[in-house]
A and B are shown apart, each in its own frame.
Chain A
Amino acid sequence: MTDRTEQAPTQPGKDARPIKLACRNVWKLFGSNAANFIRERDGKASMADVTAAGLVGAVRAVDLEIRQGEIFIIMGLSGSGKSTLVRCMSRLVEPTHGKVEFEGNDLLKISDAALIELRRHRMGMVFQNFALLPHLNVLENIAFPLSIQGQDRPTREARAREVIELVGLRGREHFYPRELSGGQQQRVGIARSLATKPEIWFLDEPFSALDPLIRREMQDELMRLQTMLHKTIVFITHDFDEAIRLADRIAIMKDGEVIQIGTPEELVVNPATDYVAEFTRDVDRAKVISARSLMRACDGTEHGGTVAPDAKIASFSAEIVSAGKPFAVVNGTGKPIGEVTPQAVIDLLAGIDRSRAGA
């Protein structure tokens, strides 16, 4: 692979990596005179103010930072403004107010030519309904963004064949989109967005139009690609399970606002509102919560084994219960920082919440 590779994430959630893309008080209001409305209020307005002015607040006061190489998921139900937000980030939609910073530069201030240049080389996007061009075959579709840049045919087709190989579509180069299944079409969409070697990759509900089984397969495929490519990914979904499966961090949106940003674990352990708690209620907690969240200070009892702080409970629950003894939680240097008791694991698996209250 000739992709620009970045340092693999070592510790999600830690601030080690540079900020790739940031939203600073981004607003998108629909309605007449929306720009004046928000400027007069200095970028502050409540939902009631917006409604009273006869405006529709698709995105309201969004602040978030996406770090290089992370999978950042924006999750919300339909109409929560997540699609509008991601379009503000790529400037497909012009925000009414606020700043979108790409590597520290305000995206909203750059010229059209610079924006085209940026999109050609550094951004990629995958769409819910694939957005393949019906008159081009797989090879031409994938090579299309390259041909737009003026690359000659042999160069762009060679690159297109590379990504076709990458997403496992070899042998289908000359098929037209309507001859492919949904999953295959989305593979084409993914390959097309990767052909330009983008640094930041927007995925707008990429798997929502697929059957559950195919969706699962495509999620695995995405994780496989990410371990090879280490893109900065902004992923939109309305499916909380999908978010949990893929995310480094999740931003939950409701009515145009971001309610909470955090790792899946943080959301499950500390939901900011009842709305977030509602989503997390049915989550398989053992797969989300790590040893660090469940550990307590060592009280001197004998340990039956050791686990890393990031290890998910599900990865050692069987061992710890059968061992019947607490496991030591050890950091990178092998020094114990706490312990997890079998009882805490059993309580978690049984859905009893007292372990956390005691921690």
Chain B
Amino acid sequence: MTVTAGASEARARPVQVWLIVWASALAAVLVVFLLQDSLPWAVNYPASAIVPVADWVGALMGWIKSNLSWLTRSITAVLGVPLDFALNLLAKNFKIGHGADAYVLPRLSWVGVCAAAFLAGHAAGGRKLGMLVGGCFLYIALFGQWTSAMLTLALISIAVPFCIVTGLFAGIWAWRKPWAERLIVSPALDLMQTIPTFAYLIPMLLLFGNSPVSAMIATAIFATPPMVRATMLGLSRVPSEIDDFSEMAGCTARQKLWRVLLPSARPTLMVGVNQVIMLALNMVIIASMIGAGGLGYDVLLALRALKVGEAMEAGLAIVALAIALDRLSQAIAHKQAMGHVHREVSPSFWRRYPNLTLAIAILVVTTLLGLFVPAFAAVPKAITFTTAPLWKAAVNWITINFFDTIEAFRVALILNVLNPLRAFCEGFPWLGAVCLLGLAGYQLSGLRLAALVAALTAFCAVTGLWEKTMATVYLCGISAFIACLIGIPIGLMASRSDRFEKIVTPIIDTLQVLPSFCFIIPVVMLFRVGDVTAMIATVAFAVVPAIRYTNHGIRQVPPALIEAAKVSGCTPRQTFFRVQLPLALPEIMLGVNQTILMALAMIIICAMVGTRDLGQEVFIALSKADSGRGIVAGLAIAFIGIVADRLFNSWTAKARARLG
């Protein structure tokens, strides 16, 4: 007995030590905060000691711009060729020759594109999917968004193959060379996905100018990471026996990769492709700020002019496009995963690919008809609708009838919750934050994580962005907190009721595919600009992972354990709280982690509705084309994300290890 007691004492002691350490650390921070008159440098980073990283980066970018313009210009020229082709094909018409007597070759007819969309859906997932995809395109046409939507689609259709090829090769390289994965690819991917979308635009704007090409490059960079990850994952998941088989069949290294491993990994790769498409759509919308044009630009213009009706219309067209692309690529991925079904081989092309042949035929015929019948070339005004006045009326009605309620809610939220929190965060001593986060890193993983976390936090202070960083943390923190407060209970309910899950799943699926821009529009209509709008839009955007992971976490608890709990006489309540919830906790925390990262990404975009944080810093830098300022602020945002992500991940890993 003495041995056992000694052991448990030894196990208990570290916990108490940490308790004391944390208590004294918090006390120290409090002391610093109270003594801020005598220790001002510890609370507010002294302006004289700010490292002018922004200036350095700006100078570097300036140097690149002036010395490498031949390179950037030739890249623009080369990439411009396929892009122009796609833009002309889908949206703009080809012009051969110059001036008034130029011969115009028409763009693809909208009728043909809608029919092709239907056939693509039909081929990938049956008639129902065909109706959905075709319907989405028809919606876009009938609501007068055709040209803008096709501009957006053209950019995506060029950026996506580029992302897929680059991602595939980068993934293969990382898979072959573990050192490359550890030292180059993984850190690069982390950074690429945590740097806010806005921050991508600045260097692109500087290097490639305000043009569709720079929008496309920004999109390509932003949307590539999931393809790299999917490639690495897919290749590493190929069963070792298939690997062995390829060796025994006498494959050369190249044959093995291209003929065995990659085809075997195809289902995973297709999931990557789906993600690439959705991210590309998201980014193309945002890249409208640097000349992408298309639907995003319509939204941007309408929002700037506070024309909520127009913004809503363009926003809905984005939604339609997003749903069509997502469902279509998911159906294809699903088909890949389910494997092939044998059928009679027939020699002729059109018999083997009836949908494709038909689609091409319809496209050619309708486009040629468009030369003679204008209704085929452009959507006739007579059959288009506009809902803008309707939305405007709806907003007016709400404003007239509920203005007081909404306003009271908004003011109360600002006065009682947001402002005090903001004051607390912005007044938080930077040195204290560095130390506390470092301490957390040390406790969770060790010295390396502590050093990383402390260094990244210190970067935000040293570059003179401390107050803005904390403003971001405050808004992101409260949004993520509310998102979890809403999302986790919904996830719990969904995990306990199949019927509820059936209702929730399509909603969160749709929320997930919507580009971040779309969340801002309806909220702005009701709450105008400000922190409350940003917060609500962010909560709506970031709630999805909290729901999804919670539901999944609870549901994946092995049934044998639940049966064991029941047999031991647990009430349903006890089973839930003592067995399912603890086991699902790591998964739920993963969802919380995702929620935080998504909230961070969204908060930055909310700079458009007048927040005063790092996002605004990037936004201002973007409008002034001040690359140094923008990149440093972007890095600071990325670092917030990385700090949160690393701390959460090591916590989750620890919890997982404990559960075995």
Contact = CB atoms under 8 A, between A and B. Distances in A.
A116 B250 contact: yes
A312 to B, nearest CB: 35
B249 interface: yes
B245 A125 contact: yes
Interface in B313-371: 339-345
B262 to A, nearest CB: 10
A134 B247 CA distance: 17
A175 B344 CA distance: 10
B248 A179 contact: no
Contacts, number: 78
A131 B239 contact: yes
Interface stretch (A62-70, A144-152, A269-277, A343-351): A144-152
A176 B245 contact: no
B342 A137 contact: yes
B563 interface: no
Nearest to A91: B247
B255 interface: yes
B242 A133 contact: yes
B341 A120 contact: no
Nearest to B253: A112
Interface string A118-144: 111101110111110111110000001
A90 B247 CA distance: 9
A217 interface: no
B248 A135 contact: no
A170 interface: no
Interface in B101-133: none
Contacts of A134: 263-264, 339-340
A148 B259 contact: yes
A182 to B, nearest CB: 14
A149 B260 CA distance: 14
The number of chain B residues touching the other chain, given as a range, is 20 to 34
Interface string A93-134: 000000000000000000000001111110111011111011
Contacts of B241: 127-131
Contacts of A123: 248
B416 interface: no
B342 A120 contact: no
A127 B245 contact: yes
Nearest to B343: A174
Contact of A174 (B244, B251, B345): B345
B255 A135 contact: no
A179 B342 contact: yes
Given A92-B244, A133-B264, A148-B255, A174 B342 contact: yes
Given A87-B244, A125-B245, A131-B241, A148 B251 contact: yes
| Among B244, B248, B264: residue with most chain A CB under 10 A | B248
A153 interface: no
B340 A120 contact: no
A118 B248 CA distance: 9
B548 interface: no
Contact of A133 (B250, B260, B341): B260
A131 B242 contact: yes
B245 A131 contact: yes
B342 A119 contact: no
Contacts of A133: 242, 260, 263-264
B629 interface: no
Contacts of A216: none
Contacts of B260: 133
A321 B247 CA distance: 55
Nearest to B262: A135
Contacts of A202: 248
Contacts of B255: 148
A120 B249 contact: yes
A79 B394 CA distance: 71
A178 interface: yes
Interface in A160-193: 174-179, 193
Contacts of A116: 250-252
Contact of A119 (B247, B259, B263): B247
Interface in A25-59: none
A28 to B, nearest CB: 15
Contacts of A119: 247-250
B266 interface: yes
| Among A87, A133, A135: residue with most chain B CB under 10 A | A135
Contacts of A129: 239, 241
A248 B250 CA distance: 28
A113 to B, nearest CB: 9
Nearest to A195: B249
A123 B344 CA distance: 33
B248 A144 contact: no
Contacts of B249: 119-120, 144-145, 148, 196
B264 A117 contact: no
Contacts of A125: 244-245, 248
Contacts of A178: 339
Given A134-B339, A148-B255, 5 more contacts: A90-B247, A119-B250, A130-B241, A135-B339, A179-B342
Interface of B: 239, 241-242, 244-245, 247-252, 255, 259-260, 263-264, 266, 339-345
Interface of A: 87, 90, 92, 116-121, 123-125, 127-131, 133-137, 144-145, 148-149, 174-179, 193, 196, 202
18 contacts: A87-B244, A90-B247, A117-B250, A118-B250, A119-B247, A125-B245, A127-B245, A131-B239, A133-B263, A135-B266, A137-B342, A144-B259, A174-B344, A174-B345, A177-B339, A179-B339, A179-B342, A202-B248
